[in-house]
Amino acid sequence: METIELRGCLEDELIEICKENGLKRFRASQLFQWVQQKTVRTWEEMKNIGDRDRQILRSRLSLYPLGKVREQRSEDGTRKYLFRLNDGETIECVLMDYERTRSRDRHTVCVSTQVGCAVGCAFCATGLQGLQRNLSVGEIAGQVLDITHYVRQEDPDFQVTNIVFMGMGEPLLNYDQVLKAIQLLNHEQGQNIGMRRMTISTCGVVPRIIQLAKDNPQVGLAVSLHTAQDEVRNDLIPMNRRYPLDQLMAACREYTHVTRRRITFEVALTTENARREEAEALARLLNGQFGHVNLIPVNPVVGTGMERPNPEQIKRFAQVLEDAGISVSSREERGADIDAACGQLRRLWEGEL
């Protein structure tokens, strides 16, 4: 009989499996808490589950913790992990600003949702690799569980508080798995991370943005916008050819209408686009949107030819938006010394860079 991935199961699903196998209901709760709350990585660690029941459960459920291939620590406290999946593929996952935010109790993890990515954005190291496959629910949630496991070895009270689905892959192209992973990570007997502390970042998969507003209006949405011009965006984000800016803006308006939640519009700034005319076009495009612009000066990525603008250029760009009444901030570069641009660590490891 084929086994089911334990770390991808909701408590209700474990209750069903226990019932089918003649086990008491409380076993499901124990199992769920061991895996989702205490982040154990082996069956042997589940001390209150007896040998007989454990054998039965092992015949139905598989437990695949992610193998830590490499961990890099940045001077700013960012930790970047390269994890190996059960089939040998690798993914990246980043714990942002850990050292600096230690006292503030805000620990954000940037999670991957696919191995590689089919979208192929021009500025993105992951996009250069193409899509290998979607991640399963257990592999998505497992990144948070395993980072928690590793950090707790040094800091037993460590708890992830915020999640951004902004790592490798386009989350809305692995929609069902991402939504279920969110449900798991939100579960009060598990990591208990508030829905409003989780944010999905998309390059603009229009039908899924509208669907997300209905399926989970609590979770946050960030849109990788980058430019207000279709012809430029077509080259930067090939998905724009399918869902151009007028469709994307209409979907964003519908999203905010249904959810009453503000959207974060991400704009990666390079020496190419950090110009006054670009900022003015952006201000016109976002006129009337319930949103906030997050400017992200890019980390240079080998193979893309992109360069980071200087602080003065960034300031001038932000000022144009502010003058137009648009809320704007500039995200600090994190982990620049550890290749924290998405996909870079994996490519380094595999000898592509």
Residue 30 phi/psi, 5° resolution?
A: -60, -50
In the complex, what is the shortest distance from the CB of residue 239 to ligand SF4, in angstroms, rounded to a whole number? 7
Positions 303 through 332 that interact with ligand SF4 (CB under 6 A): none
Given the residues 11, 92, 139, 170, select the one marked as catalytic: 92
Position closest to ligand SF4 via CB: 127
Q: Running DSSP on this structure, what letter comes out for residue 86?
A: T
Choose which of 9, 23, 117, 328 interacts with ligand SF4 (CB under 6 A). 117
Does 120 participate in binding ligand SF4 (rule CB under 6 A)? yes
Sign of the C-alpha dihedral computed for residues 317, 319, 320 and 326 taken in this order = positive
CB 27 within 8 A of CB 53: yes
- Total number of residues that touch ligand SF4 (CB under 6 A): 12
Does 124 participate in binding ligand SF4 (rule CB under 6 A)? yes
Longest dimension (CA), the chain: 69
b/e 167-182 (16+ beta carbons within 10 angstroms → b) = bbbbbbbbbebbbbbb
Which is nearer to ligand SF4, 72 or 224 (by Cβ)?
Answer: 224
Does 263 participate in binding ligand SF4 (rule CB under 6 A)? no
For the question of residue 9 being annotated catalytic, the response is no
Choose which of 126, 136, 186, 227 interacts with ligand SF4 (CB under 6 A). 126
For the question of residue 92 being annotated catalytic, the response is yes
Query: Tokens 């005319």 — which residue?
Result: 277
CB 92 within 8 A of CB 346: yes
Does 203 participate in binding ligand SF4 (rule CB under 6 A)? yes
The CA distance from 106 to 197, in Å, is 10
Does 341 participate in binding ligand SF4 (rule CB under 6 A)? no
User: Which residues are known catalytic residues?
Assistant: 92, 342
Give residues in contact with ligand SF4 (CB under 6 A): 117, 119-121, 124, 126-127, 168-170, 203, 342
